[in-house]
Amino acid sequence: MKTLLRSLAGETLPVPPIWMMRQAGRYLPEYKATRAEAGDFLSLCYNPDLATEVTLQPIRRFGFDAAILFADILLVPQALGADLWFVTGEGPRLSTITGPGGVTALKGRDDIHDTLAPVYQTVRNLASALPSEVALIGFAGAPWTVATYMIAGRGTPDQAPAHALKDGDRATFEALLDRITEATIEYLDQQVQAGAEVVKLFDSWAGSLKGDDFAKYAVAPAKRIISELKARHPGLPVIAFPREAGDGYIGFHAATGADCVAVDDSVDAAWVAEHVQPDGCVQGNLESSHMVTGGDALVSEVRRIRDALSGGPHVFNLGHGITPDADPDNVALMIETLRETASVPAS
């Protein structure tokens, strides 16, 4: 069995599998060349041949244990009918939803697939092109995080527009979250049908939800999505990433049904080993800055995290996505350091 799948099934391995969030991206010269060929970011996402190519590039270069589909969490809002475009140097922009009419105007969950069909083709391409030992991860944004972009029309430092709608018009906010949740289930279901072996839910802004709001709008939608996917695809492994959840990481496996909880670098690996890993596989959590600075500090931190989490199932990863200023040589050093111990025995 592939090492990633073994870890997600709860096995403790001598060397954890490794992949990296945003591993196909702007730090790689070959990615930049393919992006230029595509013309713009969305054209790259919707071109199955080129999206397949950029997904494979870090596998060829580094030999990661998993590939993650190249796409974007905002393709779902676009498929639901939102206008989406990217501003160079600034990031995504969307048409905004500020009241019930905006939710009513969105497409239904069964009407998203024409837009997303190229993504499913990319998954099919990858399922046949990846080396036999490399697992294929599909993904989507979690409903709260996707909603923050749909409400504000862009990324915001504190998700204030989404919090304002949540607090001022709870009915509209919850209707939007329901629509996103339904679409996400169908989107991930199609990815699995196309060949994804694992799926991951990225809740990048989960940390801004506090108290009951975290339970209602981070935990509950994740539970609903995971439950439905596992009903349709028994045995499907799911990774959940409620970034900056803090103490909210504790119990997240049981509360949502996730097989693995990814943790960011604001929590210490030793704390994760004590409070989160007893419930199941954990993923993380090297600071992304080490991919820029490298050196002895990188080596030391890789060893520290690996050793701290060696007592249970672990998938080595960054605490957040790799940044465009990262040095590919540091990625190679990270992998070399992680794998310096005895090789993983065959299953």
Could you report the per-residue pLDDT of 28-68, keeping only the tens digit for each?
Answer: 999 999 999 999 999 999 999 999 999 999 999 999 999 99
Whole-number Å distance between alpha carbons of 118 and 115? 7
Tell me whether residue 270 is in a domain: yes
Which of the residues 31, 149, 187, 249 is marked catalytic? Answer: 149
Q: Distance of alpha carbon 311 from its chain centroid, rounded?
A: 24
Q: What is the dihedral of CA 18, 16, 129, 192, to 10 degrees?
A: -90
Whole-number Å distance between alpha carbons of 76 and 112? 8
Residue 281 in contact with residue 313, Cβ under 8 Å?
A: yes
Question: Whole-angstrom distance between the N-terminal and C-terminal Cα of the chain?
Answer: 6
- The mean predicted confidence, pLDDT, of the chain is 96
Q: Is 179 a catalytic residue?
A: no
Whole-number Å distance between alpha carbons of 325 and 290? 11
Q: Kindly tell me if the per-residue pLDDT of 346 is higher than 50.
A: no
Q: Kindly tell me if the per-residue pLDDT of 18 is higher than 70.
A: yes
Within 83-211, residue ranges assigned H as helices are 100-104, 113-129, 143-152, 160-168, 170-194
Tell me whether residue 231 is in a domain: yes
Which residue segment(s) compose the domain that 189 sits in? Answer: 3-338
Tell me whether residue 345 is in a domain: no
Q: Is 187 a catalytic residue?
A: no
Domains of the chain: total? 1
Helix (H) or strand (E) holding 240: strand 238-242
Share of the chain above pLDDT 90, in %: 97
Q: Kindly tell me if the per-residue pLDDT of 133 is higher than 70.
A: yes
Tell me whether residue 346 is in a domain: no
170 C-beta neighbours (distance < 10 Å), count: 10
Q: Is the pTM of this model over 0.95?
A: yes
Tell me whether residue 68 is in a domain: yes
- Average of per-residue pLDDT across 287-313: 98
Whole-number Å distance between alpha carbons of 46 and 164? 33
Note the pLDDT of residue 342: 45
Whole-number Å distance between alpha carbons of 123 and 325? 28
Q: Kindly tell me if the per-residue pLDDT of 343 is higher than 90.
A: no
Which of the residues 26, 61, 124, 154 is marked catalytic? Answer: 26
Tell me whether residue 286 is in a domain: yes
Tell me whether residue 344 is in a domain: no
- Average of per-residue pLDDT across 296-316: 98
- The helices-and-strands tally (H runs, E runs) of the chain is 17, 9
Question: What CATH number corresponds to the domain at position 215?
Answer: 3.20.20.210
Q: Is 27 a catalytic residue?
A: no
Which of the residues 6, 31, 35, 65 is marked catalytic? Answer: 35
Tell me the pLDDT tens digit for each residue of 219-266.
999 999 999 999 999 999 999 999 999 999 999 999 999 999 999 999
Whole-number Å distance between alpha carbons of 36 and 156? 28
**CA dihedral for 103, 109, 114, 118, sign (positive or negative):** positive
Tell me the pLDDT tens digit for each residue of 188-199.
999 999 999 999
Tell me whether residue 304 is in a domain: yes
Q: CA of 55: how far to CAs of 35, 42, 185, 204, in Å? A: 12, 15, 23, 21
Which of the residues 72, 189, 203, 265 is marked catalytic? Answer: 72
Q: Is 72 a catalytic residue?
A: yes
Please name the residues in contact with 19: beta carbons below 8 A apart, sequence gap of 6 or more.
Answer: 4, 64, 65, 66, 67, 68, 137, 315, 317
Whole-number Å distance between alpha carbons of 126 and 312? 30
Residue 173 in contact with residue 143, Cβ under 8 Å?
A: no
Closest CA to 282 of 254, 314, 307: 314
Q: Kindly tell me if the per-residue pLDDT of 345 is higher than 90.
A: no
Note the pLDDT of residue 244: 98
Q: Is 306 a catalytic residue?
A: no
